[in-house]
Structure 1
Amino acid sequence: MAKIGLLPISDGRDYVRRDVTEHVDRAANQLATVLRDAGHEVVTAPEHVSSNALATSQARWVADQHPDITILHHSVWTFPHFTALAADATPGPLLLVANIDPKFPGMVGMLAGGGALDQIGRTHERAWGDLDDPEVQQRILAKVRAGAAVQGLRGSTFGRIGGRPMGMYTATANTDQWMRTFGVDVEEIDQWEVVRRSEHADQTRVSAARAWLEKHAAGVHYDGGILTPELLERQIRSYYAMRELIDEWNLDFSGIKGQPELTANFCTMDVAEAFLNDPYDWEGPKETHVTSTEADMDAALTMQLLKLLSGDPVLFADVRHYHADKDVWDLCNSGQHATWYAARSSDPAENLRHVNLYPEDFYFPAGGASVHHLAAPGEMTFARLTRQDSEYRMHVMRGGFRTYDEATNKQMMEASSWMWPHAFASLNCTAEEFLSRFGSNHIHAVPGDYVAELRAVCRQLGIRYDGFGDAV
């Protein structure tokens, strides 16, 4: 949840301020209650902003609390230069909120102050309305989530394990551009570190992890060649190697190249990637650690934004196949889908009973287990950061995951790579629009509707929002 700085702004005339102070207090307390009831922490400036000096001093006081987003609250007419001065002293995302009340023209103050910020080029968001209205509350909270996500990126570090995979331009990004646009640094780590460190994983923990998987998964289908207990343990060891790298290098999110070096000569990273993205592993609950396969940088960045917005594990997949008869896409990629998506349950055992560990297919001669399941149905938001002529844009669309009867599900999964995880996605746009415009082979999703938040994220980051279908 976010830490929010709240600056109540008042009128600059003492003879007016005397009569509106109680209203400003009441309105600010109401807004703070809405935010706290949603789980956020609120720090309110000690004094109302009613002079140029207070605009700067109170904004600096709030800034010293290191909020994720600062709200300038306009519940009465406010002098626009107060907004400009406060904004200048406020780093990070900024939201202007106005009450709609014919007796107290906060909306006028917001428009005048917001116009001043437009003129000086200060990026900000706006929200307005009756704070008793649930729709107004949701508009404000969506912008708060967006600001917190943008701020949550800044100062973070991405661990890039390996280089560009198989010539994929869309999997690499300019580290200078990342720091300038998103405030994210990139730590380059060789894949040899996964191999080297995996050898030193504690055998007791590794054996316990394998036993847990054998107990809770729907099946572990050893074949004596491509998938053996030894190879599954090597995959578990790779997971522990990644956890060690994450802790040692203070990585906030990661990507693993995998192909072709590890997948041809060591083992696949499927088990490691799935459980890093999960909110649990065999040792209990944990924070999800966004990890993209093929070290896809813009994938991981998209996923980290979606995680910061939603708090849920984020799906990574190839856009593998389009079933035209059903207008449904098969989103399928080796490993990568968090097992949480099998049932989206808080109980790992409930998810794992839908998960099978199958031997890898011919793409990965080093072998290991593929983490097979079908994503549970539900409404989703799909997104992907891509670049056009080196400029970032955010593809966004609504849709959902669908399932069918057991025979149909099996037939559809067998049409591609059966042993990999699948999600049957219905997108609220045409196949023509999607295939003509989408700028990557990888796509990402979280449960729920986060279109409003992603619009706000794009505005705050200064990148182009590119909606598809009804998310335009």
Structure 2
Amino acid sequence: MARIGVINISDGRDYVHSGITDFIRSNEDKLVASLTAAGHEVVRAPSAVSANTLATSHARGIEAADVDLTVLHYCVWAFPHFTMLAAGALRGPLVLVANTDPVQPGMVGMLAAGGALDQIGRDHVRLWGAPEDPALIAEIGVRASAASAVARLRGATFGRIGGRPMGMNTTVANTDQWQRKFGIDVEEIDQWEIVRRAEAADAGEKAKARAWLEQHATVRYDGAKLTPELLERQIGSYLAMRELIDEWHLDFSGIKGQPELTGHFATMDVAEAFLNDPYDWNGPKETHVCATEADMDGALTMQLMKHISGTPVLFADVRHYHADRDIWDLCNSGQHATWFAARSDDPAENLARVTLHPEVFFFPAGGASVEHVAAPGEMTLGRLTRKDGEYRLQLMLGEFENYDEPTTAELTARSTPEWPHAFARLDAPAETFLSRFGANHIHAIPGDRRAELRAVCALLDIALDEFTRG
């Protein structure tokens, strides 16, 4: 959840303010309690703003607390210039909230303050309702979550392991644009670092991890493309990435993989799957977004979605459209985090549905692909893509579906049965999707999180390209 600042704005006349102080404090207590109950951390100003000096000092205090978003609360008539002074000391997003209690003209105060902010071009959002109103608290939460996600991008470092894979321009972004737009630095790291470190990784740790996978998942060794030695090489690649993440302080990353590693060392399927998981054989861990094919815009989308949802994020190719069923097969080598198999925080529950297959002919170096079918449920899908050099968020709602075993086997056999699949019904006609979507990679998180992602677009000044059957 987010860190929210709360400042109440009051009347500047001493004789008025003294008579409404208790009313303001009572409403602020209710608002803070509601936000805290929703899971947010709240930083409140020491008192209501009733003088120009307090407007500035309280706002500076909230700014110093490093909040994601500030709520300016109006439950009485409030002098508008207090809002202007506070806004001048606050760099982050502002939400103006009017109490709808008819006893005091809080709505009048919000409108006067909002109009003044409009005159100077200061962006803000206006909301209204009782401080205990769940709908109001949810609306504030949407904007706070979006603000937190955007703020956590700034100052982050992306580790790009290798370069452009197989001529895919949509995976390569302009580093200057990333720094200017998102505040993200890009660290370029050679793929040789994975080879070197994987071979030097602790043999006991690799054997421990292999035994854990053999115990919980189905491992189909074939003596050629998948052997215990190749699986341990892939595990070593994961350990190598963990080292690089720690040494270079990488917040998220991407591995080129193709064609060098997949042709001559091993596929990165195991490493990518477990980096994106909230666990490995040593127990729970923080999810680290890692995009296959060093997909920068894919990784950026995933990092935003991770900050919004707090869950792993799906990475997939839009592999096939089953027109007879109006469903999409979202499938890409071993990239899908194993968490999606059952959406459980218990790795044993997820891995019971995972099979490690020998890699297919695309990847002659061999190793395991991490196959499973994503669990059913409502999903938010999308991707940051670029049109004429400018970013846009292409966004839609969908649903993952599961079927009986014969149907699932028949559907996976039409593409690559050894790879992970998510069968998605999208809230978008196929003609619309195929005509407009700006990449072959797509990303997804559970639930309907479109409201937060729309708010992200507003904060980043990015165009929203939303797909819907409506």
TM-score tier after normalising by the smaller chain length: over 0.9
CA distance in 2, matches of 1:107, 1:429: 39
| Matched residue, 2:44 | 44
C-alpha displacement of 1:47? 2.2
Write out per-residue CA displacement over residues 358-384 of structure 1, whole angstroms, 9 at most, x where no aligned residue: 011111111100000000000011121
CA distance in 2, matches of 1:144, 1:205: 41
1:423-438 equivalences under 5 Å are: 423-438=422-437
CA distance in 1, matches of 2:39, 2:141: 10
CA distance in 1, matches of 2:118, 2:181: 20
| Matched residue, 2:188 | 188
Over 3 Å counting, the alpha-carbon distance change for 1:363 and 1:119 in structure 2 is: farther
Instruction: Answer yes or no: is the 8 Å Cα contact 2:3–2:144 preserved in 1.
Output: no
| Matched residue, 1:89 | 89
Instruction: Answer yes or no: is the 8 Å Cα contact 1:278–1:289 preserved in 2.
Output: yes
CA distance in 2, matches of 1:189, 1:427: 37
Q: Is 1:206 matched with 2:203?
A: no
Q: Is 1:361 matched with 2:360?
A: yes
What is the identity, as a one-letter code, of the residue corresponding to 2:397?
R
User: Could you state the TM-score of these two structures normalised by the residue count of structure 2?
Assistant: 0.98
Instruction: Answer yes or no: is the 8 Å Cα contact 1:129–1:136 preserved in 2.
Output: yes
C-alpha displacement of 1:179? 1.5
1:211-222 equivalences under 5 Å are: 211-217=211-217, 219-222=218-221
Q: Quote the sequence identity (%).
A: 67
1:98-247 equivalences under 5 Å are: 98-217=98-217, 219-247=218-246
1:310-329 equivalences under 5 Å are: 310-329=309-328
CA distance in 1, matches of 2:196, 2:74: 58
C-alpha displacement of 1:251? 0.7
Q: Partner of 2:200: helix, strand, or coil? A: coil
C-alpha displacement of 1:155? 1.2
Instruction: Answer yes or no: is the 8 Å Cα contact 2:31–2:132 preserved in 1.
Output: no
| Matched residue, 1:400 | 399
Which moves more between the two structures, 97-106 or 321-330?
A: 97-106
Q: Partner of 2:87: helix, strand, or coil? A: helix
| Matched residue, 1:55 | 55
Q: Is 1:24 matched with 2:24?
A: yes
CA distance in 2, matches of 1:464, 1:416: 34
Instruction: Answer yes or no: is the 8 Å Cα contact 1:124–1:460 preserved in 2.
Output: no
CA distance in 2, matches of 1:429, 1:359: 35
Structure 1 stretches lacking a partner, 5+ long: none
C-alpha displacement of 1:131? 2.8
What is the identity, as a one-letter code, of the residue corresponding to 1:131?
P
C-alpha displacement of 1:70? 1.7
What is the identity, as a one-letter code, of the residue corresponding to 1:166?
M
CA distance in 1, matches of 2:199, 2:13: 72
Instruction: Answer yes or no: is the 8 Å Cα contact 1:69–1:151 preserved in 2.
Output: no
Q: Partner of 1:199: helix, strand, or coil? A: helix
Instruction: Answer yes or no: is the 8 Å Cα contact 2:322–2:328 preserved in 1.
Output: yes
Write out per-residue CA displacement over residues 94-144 of structure 1, whole angstroms, 9 at most, x where no aligned residue: 222222222222222222222322332323233221233322221121111
Q: Partner of 1:188: helix, strand, or coil? A: strand
What is the identity, as a one-letter code, of the residue corresponding to 1:250?
H
| Matched residue, 1:66 | 66
C-alpha displacement of 1:13? 2.0
What is the identity, as a one-letter code, of the residue corresponding to 1:190?
D
Q: Partner of 2:291: helix, strand, or coil? A: strand
CA distance in 2, matches of 1:137, 1:8: 16
Instruction: Answer yes or no: is the 8 Å Cα contact 1:393–1:463 preserved in 2.
Output: yes
Q: Partner of 1:95: helix, strand, or coil? A: strand
CA distance in 2, matches of 1:198, 1:236: 8
CA distance in 2, matches of 1:386, 1:19: 54
| Matched residue, 1:331 | 330
What is the identity, as a one-letter code, of the residue corresponding to 1:88?
G
Structure 2 stretches lacking a partner, 5+ long: none
CA distance in 1, matches of 2:118, 2:162: 42
Instruction: Answer yes or no: is the 8 Å Cα contact 1:68–1:152 preserved in 2.
Output: no
Which moves more between the two structures, 221-230 or 92-101?
A: 92-101
CA distance in 1, matches of 2:275, 2:123: 35
Instruction: Answer yes or no: is the 8 Å Cα contact 1:94–1:147 preserved in 2.
Output: no
Q: Partner of 1:73: helix, strand, or coil? A: strand
Aligned alpha-carbon RMSD (Å): 1.3
How many residue pairs get aligned? The number is 470
Q: Partner of 1:122: helix, strand, or coil? A: coil
Which moves more between the two structures, 82-91 or 280-289?
A: 82-91
What is the identity, as a one-letter code, of the residue corresponding to 1:154?
R
CA distance in 1, matches of 2:253, 2:85: 39
What is the identity, as a one-letter code, of the residue corresponding to 2:68?
D
1:281-430 equivalences under 5 Å are: 281-430=280-429
CA distance in 2, matches of 1:431, 1:102: 50
User: Could you state the TM-score of these two structures normalised by the residue count of structure 1?
Assistant: 0.97
